[in-house]
Homo-oligomer: A and B are copies of this chain.
Amino acid sequence: MGNSIGKSLVLTSFGDSHGPYIGAVLDGFPSGIEIDLELIKLDLNRRRPGQSAISTLRNEEDNFQIISGIFEGKSTGTPITILIENKDHKSSDYESLKNLYRPGHADFVYDKKYGFRDHRGGGRSSARVTAAWVAAGAIAKTLLQKWYQCEVHSVVSSVYNLEVDNVFQLDWHEAENNLVRCPNPEIAQKMIDCIHQAQIDGDSLGGKIATKVTNCPIGFGEPLFDKLNADLAKSIFSINAVKGLEFGSGFESSKMLGSEYNDDAVSIENKEGGITGGLSNGKQLEFTTAFKPVSSIAKTQKINTKEGQIIDHSIEGRHDPCVLPRAVPIVEAMTALCLADHALLNLKFGKL
């Protein structure tokens, strides 16, 4: 279980990283909305492995097909099913890992929980399955755009110790012009260099992704348990390697006085990050997601074996030294799916 997310707009994910297909069913999407397949392709390309010199060498084209729910270019209101073929899955890369519990991976807990695991690249724990989330997210973005001119954008705001100041104040269009998806071109270059160095060192890097949502309508979210921030948190923490999340000034806000923090009613200040009392307040949504460094590293490290020994081991395989650039469309997708779900939930109040 745990393969579905959403209440009015439900994403059901299926497929294993090394099976023939991964995919998803998106149920609850309204009828009559034009679906631009190019937008889906675009986001899949932003996520796909092998897209640039700083990502994994695994090269997956991520060709997708939609086999239900769209007719003559428009949604029909019936479940939208997305299929993505797994082309370049080299199970042999993983053969040596059969009896190892890779640090940072779910190998050990999987074995303990299920009594077995698919050692070929993580199985259902693999970030591979997020390709279908990204495709579904692109469809959710279309809904938000059409109904509200609402747009979801994410950028890389830090890699390792390289951080962009005041990232929410920058022009984010710049981010798509560099390999690392950072809106500050100078820091972007430093990040790229840093990632190259990690690659050379057989090491890996984490970082942060900043997300903003423009034209988010007022009143998304429910006051108690389906707060917009709570549902976004569930969506964002569903992404592999996420270890922290903050809205608006987040952790910094814990160090402020109430008189400092309370957003002045007339200013454009947005310390709340666009959500008050669990509901979107009409300002831009702003939140920041922290990713741990990639778990698989070539550098030799201590590894537990299934038999309980500790060995020195270097994990081979074609891993990203830093997933942040490829995680940008995943964060956008999970955000868009969550917002579109709340858009549909809000229809009961006669809102559009």
Inter-chain contact B224/A230, CB cutoff 8 Å: no
B297 & A204 in contact (Cβ 8 Å cutoff): no
Q: A1-B226, A224-B2, A257-B205 are known contacts. Are A109 and B279 too (CB-CB below 8 A)?
A: yes
Known: A205-B257, A276-B108. A2 touches B245 (CB 8 A): no
**Complex interface: stretch among A47-55, A142-150, A343-351:** A343-351
Closest Cβ of chain B: how far from A117's Cβ, in Å? 10
Stoichiometry, as copies per complex, reads 4
Q: Are A243 and B247 in contact (CB under 8 A)?
A: yes
Q: How far is the CA of A71 from the CA of B103 in the complex (A)?
A: 26
**B253–A251 touching, CB < 8 Å:** no
Interchain CB contact (< 8 A) of A280 among B109, B259, B303: B109
Within 8 A of B (CB), among A202-255: 203-208, 218-219, 222-227, 229-231, 233-238, 240, 242-251, 253-255
Q: CB < 8 Å: which of B20, B25, B226, B266 contacts A67? A: B20
The segment out of A171-179, A185-193, A286-294 that lies at the interface is A286-294
Asked if A223 meets B2 with Cβ closer than 8 Å, knowing A68-B14, A258-B205, the reply is yes
- In the bound assembly, the distance between CA atoms of A259 and B281 in angstroms comes to 42
Interfacial chain B residues near A264, Cβ < 8 Å? 103, 301-302
Q: Are B243 and A250 interface neighbours, CB within 8 A?
A: yes
Q: Which B residue sits closest to A235, measured CB to CB?
A: B230
The A interface is mostly helix, strand or loop, or mixed, namely mixed
Max chain B C-beta neighbours (<10 A), residue from A5, A223, A242, A297: A223
For the complex, what is the distance from the CA of A297 to the CA of B3, rounded to whole Å?
Answer: 42
**Closest Cβ neighbor of A69 among chain B residues:** B14
Residues of B near A81 (CB, < 8 A) are 14-15, 21, 23
A81-B14, A259-B299 known; A244-B237 Cβ under 8 A: no
Q: Is the C-beta of A73 less than 8 angstroms from some C-beta in chain B?
A: no
Give Cα A157 to B310, complex, Å.
Answer: 35
* Contacting pair B15 A208 (CB below 8 A): no
Q: How large is the interface on A (under 10, 10 to 19, 20 to 34, 35 or more residues)?
A: 35 or more
Task: Please measure, in the bound complex, the distance between the C-alpha atom of A30 and the C-alpha atom of B116, giving whole angstroms.
Answer: 12
Taken residue by residue from 11 to 31, chain A's Cβ proximity to chain B (1 for < 8 Å, 0 otherwise) reads as 011111001111101011011
Q: Which residue of B lies closest to A162 (CB)?
A: B255
CA separation between A302 and B267, bound complex, in Å?
Answer: 10
Q: In the bound complex, do residue B160 and residue A257 qualify as a contact, i.e. CB atoms below 8 Å apart? A: yes
A61 to chain B, nearest CB (A): 18
* Set of chain B residues within 8 Å of A1, measured between Cβ atoms: 8, 10, 27-28, 222, 226, 345
- A348 B8 Cβ-Cβ under 8 A: yes
Indicate whether A277 sits within 8 Å of B105 (C-beta atoms), given known contacts A5-B225, A348-B348: yes
User: What 3 pairs between A and B have smallest CB-CB spacing?
Assistant: A106-B277, A2-B222, A113-B219
16 cross-chain CB contacts under 8 A: A1-B10, A4-B27, A14-B27, A14-B69, A19-B71, A113-B349, A125-B223, A158-B254, A233-B237, A244-B250, A246-B251, A254-B291, A261-B292, A262-B297, A264-B301, A347-B348
Interface residue ranges, A against B (CB under 8 Å): 1-5, 8, 10, 12-16, 19-23, 25, 27-28, 30-32, 67-69, 71, 76-81, 83, 101, 103-106, 108-110, 112-114, 116, 118, 123-125, 129, 158, 160-161, 198, 203-208, 218-219, 222-227, 229-231, 233-238, 240, 242-251, 253-266, 271-273, 276-282, 290-297, 299, 301-304, 310, 344-352
